[in-house]
Structure 1
Amino acid sequence: MRLPALSRWSARDRPKLAVMPTALITGAGRGIGSAIAAALAPTHTLLLAGRPSPGLDAVSRRLGATALRLDLADAAATQAVAATVSELDVLVHNAGVSRPGRVAETDINDWRVTFDVNVFGAVALTLALLPALRRAHGHVVFINSGSGRRVSPGMACYSASKFALRAFADALRDDEPALRVTTVYPGRTATDMQRELVAYEGGEYEPGKFLRPETVAAVVAGVLKTPPDGDIHEVVVRPAV
């Protein structure tokens, strides 16, 4: 995959391009991902990754960021994107998919699709970017879910994928002591995914009952501001209503 107008990012180049640290955010075209991008824009040079969409292009233009066309289920695309990044300060794993359903309502394809993006995609991108993260002594943030701490009814494969993602984050923290690794567990958040879940549950979608994406983004921005003598492993945030 060829990425037009994207040069190799390195510490050597930063004086020419920006003095700010670089952050790569997946699933940045909407919802929590776009809110995190907006929250980090004043302090970071942004690489916004996601499947090609008008939303991703719009967020990138608005924030003056570089859009990276990336399907996390495509291993070749993941390697191509990682090859353009030689040093990376922050990696935010936000992209995810959800296929609501109790165990008996799912089929094996639901599980494969969910794990391909939520787990294998995150693992593949992390492995590909590990050299760049090591050079910067970087910070990896995983946007998990309350379903990654307690299984949610009707969310069988999604919950299982989030438990797996939690385990990967813990393993990464243990195995890469030069990196900081944080898992954020938001409660139910007002996003398109939440709208689909409420429809599956047969309820009426009322955004005011859920966390705002901007609230989750503020938590992420706060984590990244942690002084060097601190290391935040986990953050749990829930709606106040």
Structure 2
Amino acid sequence: MDSLKSAEVGFCIRALREQFHLCVAIGRDLVRLLQDLVSVPEFRRLWEDLLIRPSDISRLYRRSTPAEYLLMGITPEMETRMRFLLSQVKTGSRRRYLEWFAGKFLRRPEQEAAAVDLVRLLRSDVVPRWMMVGWLLTACRKNYFAAGAKLALFYDWLFFDEVNDSIMNIEPAILLMVNSVPEYVELTQTLMEFLLLLVDHYDEGVEEGVVQSLDALSTCSLISPALRESFTRLIHGSNPAQAQAVD
């Protein structure tokens, strides 16, 4: 097993170092995955090398990751079952199917990372995506994977480009936070807090225009005043007059 892991790591490192111009096609999720692998010495050295080449990282950030790459994070059976759940299962039966899906694909320790990939991948015209994302967040029992799922949810916010990105990529997070009030206000507060922490750790910041529909959260009395104030500064930071109007 160790020899196989070593071979896989070696192959990935060679591909990224020698064929980086091809790897750029993977897009911004490549950066997210590399950050998850910094505990592996070979990937840590690669990441440190990338940090001194900000233009390469910027090229990745500007590219939205195509769905075919995101599909590689889940098994074909998982994809088939999820597509069936999204397109064929009616509302009244959905919870039973979700529990079955979680038991088969997400409950074992080695499976939990798949929830993160599903959050990135999820697309549906039948079931509101924000509902499915909310369920996937609750399926993450370990804090590490829960944080990864939240990052997956907000990742496109950080680098959103109105020309090259689709508004559908940021819609689930917006609707999940807004529609979770008042019944699941704790989830909304958790996501707001995570977004604020995320902005502090990414130089890119949240693009203007992405969160313009979130004023409802800035005025919700169920959310703590300090959190509302911080969130207001985030979404209207470049427009003090508008922030004052919300207050």
Same fold per TM (> 0.5)? no
Task: Give TM-score, length-normalised by structure 2.
Answer: 0.31
**Which structure dedicates a bigger proportion of its chain to helix?**
2
